[in-house]
C-alpha cells in the first residue's frame, strides 16, 4: 500500500463529504492537494497542503478549512493526533497499531512488497557493462555494471518487461590483438621461448589457459599456418574464453544478462548495409564534406567527401560520418544498426549505460534512434563515472594492454558482493 496515496484518497472523501454540508467546499478541484512526509519528522508522519491550496476556490481562510479537515481526520482510526501549524498546514501522527499492521503486511509480502504494475508489461531493453572481451572484468567497469543491473531490477519490480543485454565488441581491431596475444601463449604452451610480450599485446596471465587449451587441441599444427589461417581459430577460442571469464566475474557480483549480442554477427548479417539503405530511402544519407570541427578534432572528421548521416536533423550538433577513408565503417554505423535491431525486436524503450568517456556520443545516438524508428523509439542514456582505485596514495591506471589493472573478482573476493555493489 502506498500510504500517501491511501490517505489522499481518504482526504478527498472527507472534503467531498464536508461539501455536502458546507457549500463552499463542494465541487472543488482537488488535483493540487498533496499528502506527503513533513519536511521535519518532528512534525509528524504525514502532512497535507489541502487547506492552503483550496482557500482561493472555497473563498475561506486556510485556518478555517484546516480546522474542518483536521477534525474529520482526527476521527480516522489510524490517526493518533492532528496538528494545525502556521497558516494552515495539517500534520498528522499515525497510531502505533497502524505501523504495526504495515510491518506485518511487509513481512507477509516478502520479496513481493513494493512491486507495482506501473510498467504494465512494456518492453524495455537495458544494455550495460559491454566491456571489450579482451580480458576479465576490471574494477573500473564495476559502477556501470551495478548501476545497470540495479536499474534493470527496479524497472522489472515496477512491472516492466526488462531485457538485460550485453553488446560484445568482437569486431574491432582489439580482438585481433587478443588473438595475437593468445597465439604467443599457445607457442609458450608448446615449449617455445616467447620472451617478453611485445608492446601493444595483452601480457596478462589470463591468456595462459587459452594457449594451453589450443596446444592440447591442435598440437603444433597452428605453427605451420600463416596468420590469416590461424588467427580466426585462435580469436574464436580466445573470445569464448574471455566471455566465460566475464560471465563468471559478473555472476560473482550477482549480475546476469539474458542476451549477449555479437557485433561480429551484426556485421556478417548485412544488418549495417540494410539499416543504411533504410536511412538512405528516407533521404537521411548524403555525400558531403564536414566543416572543420571547433576545438579538439574528432576521429571521424576528414577534409574529404564522406558518406554522412543527417544527424543535425534530429538534434545533433553536426552530421556524422558513416565510413572511414579506407572504406570501412566508422564506430557509429554498426551502433545505428544495432539499435535498429533492438527496435525491430520490439523494444521502443531502450536504455544504454555509458562510461563518462563516451559522453560525446549521446546526441548522435539519440539522433540515430529517432531516425531509424521514425520517432517511435526512445533512447535514454545514463552516464557513469569509471571507478578510480587508489593504491598507496597513487591512482591505479586500468590498462589491459599494460597488464596494470585490478580485477572485479579480486575486489569481490576481498570485500564481498554486497560491499562492492
Residue with cell 596475444: 181
- pLDDT (0 to 100) of residue 395: 77
Query: CA 128 to CA 112: how far, in whole Å?
Result: 25
- pLDDT (0 to 100) of residue 37: 96
Q: What is the DSSP letter of 341?
A: H
Query: pLDDT (tens digit, 9 = 90+) per residue, 365-418?
Result: 999 999 999 999 999 999 998 777 777 887 777 665 555 668 888 888 888 999
Residue ranges and CATH numbers for the domains of the chain are 3-98 (3.30.1360.70), 120-255+411-420 (3.40.50.620), 270-387 (3.40.50.620)
Query: pLDDT (tens digit, 9 = 90+) per residue, 319-337?
Result: 999 998 888 999 999 999 9
Provide the whole-model pTM.
0.82
In this prediction, residue 299 has a pLDDT band, given cuts at 50, 70 and 90, of low
Instruction: Say if strands 161-168 and 259-262 run parallel, antiparallel, or are unpaired.
Output: parallel
- Do 158 and 126 form a contact (C-beta atoms < 8 A)? no
Taking the CA atoms of the chain, what radius of gyration do you get in angstroms?
Answer: 30
- Do 69 and 14 form a contact (C-beta atoms < 8 A)? yes
Query: CA 279 to CA 131: how far, in whole Å?
Result: 29
Cα distances from 363 to residues 7, 47, 175, 233, 312, in angstroms, run 43, 42, 28, 38, 9
What SS3 state is found at 78?
Answer: coil
**11-16 mean pLDDT:** 97
In this prediction, residue 338 has a pLDDT band, given cuts at 50, 70 and 90, of very high
- pLDDT (0 to 100) of residue 298: 60
CB proximity list for 361: less than 8 A, separation 6 or greater: 354, 381
Of 44, 96, 98, nearest to 70 by C-alpha is 44
Cα distances from 156 to residues 130, 150, 162, 350, 417, in angstroms, run 20, 10, 6, 14, 21
Q: Mean pLDDT for the chain?
A: 93
**191-201 mean pLDDT:** 93
Query: pLDDT (tens digit, 9 = 90+) per residue, 113-140?
Result: 989 999 999 999 999 999 999 999 888 8
What SS3 state is found at 126?
Answer: strand
- pLDDT (0 to 100) of residue 408: 87
Amino acid at each position: 500500500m502506498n500510504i500517501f496515496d491511501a490517505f489522499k484518497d481518504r482526504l478527498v472523501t472527507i472534503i467531498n463529504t464536508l461539501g455536502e454540508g458546507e457549500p463552499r467546499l463542494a465541487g472543488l478541484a482537488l488535483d493540487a492537494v498533496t499528502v506527503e512526509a513533513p519536511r521535519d519528522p518532528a512534525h509528524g508522519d504525514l502532512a497535507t497542503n489541502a487547506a492552503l491550496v483550496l482557500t482561493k476556490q472555497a473563498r475561506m481562510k486556510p485556518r478555517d478549512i484546516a480546522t474542518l479537515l483536521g477534525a474529520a481526520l482526527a476521527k480516522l482510526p489510524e490517526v493518533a493526533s492532528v496538528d494545525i501549524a502556521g497558516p494552515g498546514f495539517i500534520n498528522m501522527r499515525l497510531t502505533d497499531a497502524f505501523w504495526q499492521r504495515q510491518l506485518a503486511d511487509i513481512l507477509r509480502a516478502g520479496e513481493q512488497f513494493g512491486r507495482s504494475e506501473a510498467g504494465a508489461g512494456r518492453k524495455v531493453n537495458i544494455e550495460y557493462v559491454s566491456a571489450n572481451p579482451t580480458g576479465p572484468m576490471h574494477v573500473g567497469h564495476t559502477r556501470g555494471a551495478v548501476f545497470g543491473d540495479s536499474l534493470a531490477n527496479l524497472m522489472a519490480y515496477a512491472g516492466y518487461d526488462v531485457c538485460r543485454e550485453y553488446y560484445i565488441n568482437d569486431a574491432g581491431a582489439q580482438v585481433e590483438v587478443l588473438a595475437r596475444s593468445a597465439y604467443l601463449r599457445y607457442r609458450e604452451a608448446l615449449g617455445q621461448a616467447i620472451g617478453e610480450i611485445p608492446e601493444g599485446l595483452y601480457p596478462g596471465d589470463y591468456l595462459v589457459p587459452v594457449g594451453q587449451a589450443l596446444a592440447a587441441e591442435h598440437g603444433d599444427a597452428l605453427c605451420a599456418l600463416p596468420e590469416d589461417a590461424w588467427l580466426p581459430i585462435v580469436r574464436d577460442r580466445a573470445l569464448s574464453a574471455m566471455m566465460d571469464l566475464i560471465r563468471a566475474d559478473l555472476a560473482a557480483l550477482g549480475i546476469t544478462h539474458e542476451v549477449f549480442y555479437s557485433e561480429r554477427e551484426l556485421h556478417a548479417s548485412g544488418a549495417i548495409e540494410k539499416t543504411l539503405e533504410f536511412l538512405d530511402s528516407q533521404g537521411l544519407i548524403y555525400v558531403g564534406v564536414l566543416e572543420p570541427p571547433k576545438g579538439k578534432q574528432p576521429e571521424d572528421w576528414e577534409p574529404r567527401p564522406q558518406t554522412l548521416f543527417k544527424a543535425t536533423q534530429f538534434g545533433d550538433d553536426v552530421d556524422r560520418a558513416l565510413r572511414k577513408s579506407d572504406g570501412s565503417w566508422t564506430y557509429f554505423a554498426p551502433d545505428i544498426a544495432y539499435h535498429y535491431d533492438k527496435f525491430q525486436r520490439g523494444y521502443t524503450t531502450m536504455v544504454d549505460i555509458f562510461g563518462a568517456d563516451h559522453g560525446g556520443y549521446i546526441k548522435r545516438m539519440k539522433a540515430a534512434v529517432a531516425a531509424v524508428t521514425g520517432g517511435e523509439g526512445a533512447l535514454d542514456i545514463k552516464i557513469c563515472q569509471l571507478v578510480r582505485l587508489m593504491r598507496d596514495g597513487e591512482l591505479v591506471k586500468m590498462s589491459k594492454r599494460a597488464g596494470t589493472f585490478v580485477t572485479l573478482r579480486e575486489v569481490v573476493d576481498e570485500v564481498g558482493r554486497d560491499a562492492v555493489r
